[in-house]
């Protein structure tokens, strides 16, 4: 503090010296003109008297009359000499006066400059005081902290195989639960959940003459190879996967030579016990049966007659007696095509109400087709008779709807026409599917709701056919209505909230079905359809999604978090030996306004919810467009503390305005306030061959409060010149080499982005400091949305009536904020590359356009919220800049095409309109002279 006192004394001395100079200048300004005026007035009066005397002989004094001509001439010459002398003196004095006036003007300018410098120094001093105060608060918090920051412990995995234990009886295995039949010691919470797969070719588990579907084997190997939990080391594995289906005979069929389904399971129980890591009882083994067919002899349960030990069974068909809740797992059969984009399988989500209100395609099988011999003493033929009578009543009632007086259209097909080769008649015990896959898909695409019957047998918990019908309905956007829904369970029911997707109705309430469907409004129909598509795409659509989901559910049971999401290495354009030249570049000064403290870079805390996230918000992650497969540093939806917690018990990191008392502009500029702890933001800037424009844009960022770093993605193939002078702005500036020239690089999740808040900026966007900080403060209250400056909207094309237009005109309603100048959460950069369909990024590369539209689609789709526009700024201009992409004649035409293509990929238009704009508090508010507005110029 001694140095600070010396600086203050020097400033005070300099201030007193300036006061004395000002007094002298003021005296000169007043005295010199007064003396000059007095002297000139006297001379002029004397000159006038002499001149008047020369022309008026009558008025000459008496002593001049006797003068001779020579004396008079001498006197006149003397007077002329005096006049010339006076004139010379006057000119000299005028010159001196002009010189003094110039000096006065110079002094005046110096005074004004000194005043400006004084104001600047006072502002800088205020900033420094604020910075010192904030640093002292941070120091106190560090000293008072009595617990260390949470960090992920060292990864702990076993280094031994399962010890061999004696097998247990089948009666005990039927009561298996995770606490009794699973070895938790191999799956520590920091293990990362390593998963080992038995090679099905090296370790076959089928009877002789049977084999696993070759496509399924190959796909499972590839899919597991993409999963981050896969390990080739069985000594460290937590669980062991055994692929046991779909089983086919050598000729590719599932039936014997007589065309009847086999009476024995194709699975060889002795082969299971010979597996090298079986451990005697099969604990921690997962028997994965992805069969798409239900074998009639064992009610679709391939394991009903086998001793599977303590292994976990994963399949789509179960009986109540053999299913072990919380231990076994129900999955959907894999019905998806081997390739192609998932979104291409799905029709549009709109209109909400399609051609048919309700449809059904299927045929009820006769009782003689059923073989209940394996239901172990639980089967009663009377049950079939009762169910058949009820089914007949249901069919009759549904047929009556078709011929009823309602305007709603129905399509029911209760008798199957002989189908072609691609018929999905899979030997089900109950209702079989009718028609080909393409014909069923065509009907479902025109169905608002589709009817699905639960199995007639009360012993069946789920069947492959039931799961297949759910799969097909969700793919087509037809909302499943399950009659007998109180009897069955669906895939991954422990994590998926199926009531948000399907309607479950007891069979006996079929007469209320039509009334119930009519009560559901359009917005709920779209909500359920959208939720169903998300479930289908994420968890059911492919072998990859099925395998990832099975592993994620098992990991969820053990409270083991997923592995951290991958980031992109930030590779500098400079090599290790080259250091860029830093220079202090002065541009136009920013308005003299204290906007906040100048602090050293402070990174946002990351991975603070490694374990609590899945303990407290598991269902939201699985069902609300979260991501159960990856762990992210932070989420935009992380919960907020109540206001009083900032002062009682949880005050660390918070910077309330006026220490909690509030205040106007002065107190506002000293602290971030808000509902979140202190933080900073990173500027992410994409550039291409506009070096000087880039350097000027970076230089303007000097002295910007709350700035953590500037990350420039260098999209140009030509590296920057070695003699460039990069502006020294007081924070790190990273120049990162883009993988290739792509606008998608604007949203690369680089590993050096250390803050939650990302300001995405074009290299030619010129934002004032107060605008940037105002946008930052607004974003902190809307962390899950895009917050920025240039607003745009999507307009309906009145000419074609079936497409959208991109519009940039001034409008009282908008739906997009362009990422050329906008804040967004770092989480969305990961989702842009991890979750957004590849087809959208490919379209961005094709047009070299529309990446900002794609990000708006993504965020609006996830949040179902529009962006937030701040201030009145609508567009940006860069006079003298090189040609930009937006000046191309085809720019807007491409954006029209983008917006329609993106809507097709998403299945609907996710953008939402808003008529809201954020302006500063106290904007245009008259306040007292002793108060200050939050932002002077906003």
- pLDDT (tens digit per residue) in 764-787: 998 999 999 999 999 999 999 999
The token pair at 233 is 């080391």
E strands, 406-493, in order: 410-413, 431-432, 447-453, 460-462, 479-483
The number of C-alpha atoms within 13 Å of 538 and in the hemisphere containing its C-beta is 22
Our answer to whether residue 852 is catalytic in this structure is yes
Model confidence band, residue 451 (pLDDT cutoffs 50, 70, 90)? very high
Pick the catalytic residue from 213, 430, 770, 852: 852
Q: What is the pLDDT of residue 34?
A: 66
What is the Cα–Cα distance from 364 to 102, expressed in whole angstroms? Answer: 107
Whether the Cβ atoms of residue 782 and residue 817 lie closer than 8 Å to each other: no
Element (H, E) at 34: helix 2-55
- pLDDT (tens digit per residue) in 310-351: 999 999 999 998 999 999 999 998 876 545 678 888 999 999
- Where do we find the tokens 């994620």? 552
Q: What is the pLDDT of residue 593?
A: 80
The mean-pLDDT minimum among 465-479, 605-619, 856-870 falls in 605-619
Whether the Cβ atoms of residue 152 and residue 607 lie closer than 8 Å to each other: yes
Element (H, E) at 319: strand 318-319
What is the Cα–Cα distance from 336 to 347, expressed in whole angstroms? Answer: 15
pLDDT at 428 exceeding the cut of 50: no
Q: What is the pLDDT of residue 909?
A: 97
Q: What is the pLDDT of residue 367?
A: 41
Angle between helices 464-476 and 522-535 (to 10 degrees): 120
3-state secondary structure 378-417: CCCHHHHHHHHHHHHHHHHHHHHHHCCCCCCCEEEECCCC
- pLDDT (tens digit per residue) in 803-824: 999 998 888 999 999 999 999 9
The full length of the chain comes to 938
DSSP string, 162-202: PPP-----HHHHTT--HHHH--GGGS-TTS---EEE--TTT
Domain 342-541 has CATH 3.40.50: yes
Give this prediction's pTM: 0.83
Model confidence band, residue 38 (pLDDT cutoffs 50, 70, 90)? low
What is the Cα–Cα distance from 934 to 912, expressed in whole angstroms? Answer: 30
Q: Class of 581-601+676-795+807-837+852-887+898-918 per CATH?
A: alpha beta
What is the Cα–Cα distance from 744 to 754, expressed in whole angstroms? Answer: 20
- pLDDT (tens digit per residue) in 116-129: 778 777 777 777 77
Handedness of CA 782, 788, 790, 794 (dihedral sign): negative
Q: What is the pLDDT of residue 318?
A: 92
Compare 631 and 77 and report the one with higher pLDDT.
631
**CA-closest candidate to residue 426, choices 476, 472, 394, 475:** 472
């Amino acid at each position: 503090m001694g140095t600070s006192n010396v600086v203050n004394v020097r400033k005070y001395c300099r201030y007193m010296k300036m006061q004395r100079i000002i007094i002298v200048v003021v005296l000169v300004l007043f005295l010199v003109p007064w003396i000059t005026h007095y002297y000139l007035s006297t001379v002029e009066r004397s000159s006038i008297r002499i001149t008047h005397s020369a022309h008026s002989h009558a008025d000459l004094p008496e002593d001049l009359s006797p003068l001779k001509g020579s004396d008079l001439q001498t006197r006149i010459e003397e007077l002329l000499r005096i006049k010339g002398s006076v004139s010379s003196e006057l000119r000299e004095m005028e010159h001196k006066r002009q010189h003094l006036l110039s000096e006065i003007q110079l002094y005046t300018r110096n005074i004004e400059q000194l005043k400006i410098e004084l104001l600047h120094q006072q502002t800088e001093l205020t900033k420094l005081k604020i910075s010192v105060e904030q640093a002292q608060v941070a120091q106190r918090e560090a000293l008072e902290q009595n617990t260390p920051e949470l960090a992920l412990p060292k990864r702990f995995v076993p280094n031994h195989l399962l010890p061999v234990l004696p097998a247990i009886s089948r009666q005990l295995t039927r009561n298996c639960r995770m606490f009794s039949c699973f070895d938790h010691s191999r799956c520590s919470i920091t293990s990362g959940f390593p998963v080992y797969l038995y090679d099905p070719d090296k370790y076959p588990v089928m009877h002789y003459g049977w084999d696993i579907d070759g496509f399924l084997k190959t796909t499972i190997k590839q899919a597991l190879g993409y999963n981050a939990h896969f390990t080739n080391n069985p000594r460290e594995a937590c669980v062991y996967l055994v692929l046991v289906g779909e089983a086919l005979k050598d000729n590719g069929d599932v039936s014997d030579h007589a065309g009847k389904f086999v009476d024995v399971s194709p699975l060889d129980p002795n082969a299971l016990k010979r597996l090298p890591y079986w451990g005697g009882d099969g604990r921690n083994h997962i028997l994965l049966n992805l069969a798409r067919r239900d074998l009639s002899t064992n009610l679709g349960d391939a394991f009903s007659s086998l001793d599977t030990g303590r292994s976990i069974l994963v399949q789509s068909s179960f009986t109540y007696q053999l299913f072990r809740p919380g231990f076994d797992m129900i999955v959907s059969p894999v019905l998806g095509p081997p390739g192609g984009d998932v979104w291409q399988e799905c029709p549009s989500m709109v209109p909400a109400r399609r051609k048919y209100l309700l449809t059904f395609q299927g045929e009820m099988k006769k009782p003689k087709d059923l073989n209940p011999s394996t239901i172990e003493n639980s089967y009663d033929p009377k049950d079939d008779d009762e169910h058949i009578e009820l089914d007949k009543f249901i069919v009759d009632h549904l047929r009556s709807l078709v011929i009823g007086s309602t305007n709603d259209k129905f399509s029911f097909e209760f008798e199957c026409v002989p189908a072609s080769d691609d018929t999905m008649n899979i030997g089900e015990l109950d209702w079989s599917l009718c028609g080909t896959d393409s014909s069923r898909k065509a009907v479902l695409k025109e169905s608002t709701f589709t009817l699905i019957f639960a199995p007639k047998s009360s012993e069946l918990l789920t069947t492959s056919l039931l799961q297949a019908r759910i799969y097909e309905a969700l793919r087509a956007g037809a909302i499943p209505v399950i009659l007998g829904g109180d009897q069955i369970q669906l895939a991954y029911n422990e994590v998926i909230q199926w009531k948000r997707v399907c309607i479950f109705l007891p069979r006996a309430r079929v007469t209320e079905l039509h009334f119930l469907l009519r009560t559901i409004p359009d917005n709920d129909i779209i909500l359920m359809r959208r939720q169903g598509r998300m479930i289908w795409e994420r968890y059911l659509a492919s072998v990859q999604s099925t395998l990832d989901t099975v592993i994620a559910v098992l990991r969820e049971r053990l409270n083991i978090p997923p592995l951290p999401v991958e980031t992109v290495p930030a590779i500098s354009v400079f090599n290790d030996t080259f250091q860029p030249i830093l220079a202090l570049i002065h541009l136009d000064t920013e308005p003299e306004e204290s906007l906040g403290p100048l602090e050293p870079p402070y990174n946002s805390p990351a991975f603070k919810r490694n374990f609590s996230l899945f303990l407290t918000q598991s269902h939201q992650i699985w069902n609300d467009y979260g991501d159960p497969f990856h762990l992210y540093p932070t989420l935009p939806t992380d919960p907020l503390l109540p206001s009083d917690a900032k002062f009682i018990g949880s005050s660390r990191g918070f910077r309330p305005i006026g220490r909690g008392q509030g205040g106007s502009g002065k107190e506002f500029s000293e602290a971030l306030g808000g509902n979140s702890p202190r933080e900073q933001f990173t500027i992410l800037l994409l550039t291409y061959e506009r070096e000087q424009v880039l350097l000027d844009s970076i230089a303007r960022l000097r002295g910007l409060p709350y700035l953590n770093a500037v990350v420039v993605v260098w999209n140009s193939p030509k590296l920057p010149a070695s003699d460039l002078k990069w502006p020294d702005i007081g924070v790190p500036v990273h120049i990162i080499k883009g993988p290739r020239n792509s606008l998608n690089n604007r949203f690369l999740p680089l590993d050096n982005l250390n803050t939650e808040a990302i300001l995405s900026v074009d290299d030619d966007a010129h934002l004032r400091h107060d605008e940037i900080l105002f946008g930052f403060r607004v974003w902190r209250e809307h962390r899950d949305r895009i917050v920025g400056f240039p607003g745009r909207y999507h307009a309906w094309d009145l000419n074609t009536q079936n497409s959208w237009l991109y519009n940039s005109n001034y409008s009282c309603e908008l739906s997009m904020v362009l990422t050329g100048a906008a804040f967004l959460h770092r989480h969305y950069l990961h989702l842009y590359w991890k979750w957004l369909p590849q087809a959208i990024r490919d379209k961005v590369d094709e047009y070299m356009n529309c990446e900002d539209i794609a990000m708006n689609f993504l965020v609006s789709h996830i949040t179902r919220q529009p962006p937030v526009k701040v201030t009145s700024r609508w567009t940006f201009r860069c006079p003298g800049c090189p040609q930009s992409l937006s000046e191309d004649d085809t720019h807007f035409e491409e954006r029209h095409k983008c917006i329609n293509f993106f809507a097709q990929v998403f299945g609907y238009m996710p953008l939402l309109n808003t008529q809201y704009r954020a302006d500063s508090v106290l904007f245009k508010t008259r306040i007292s002279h002793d108060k200050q507005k939050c932002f002077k110029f906003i």
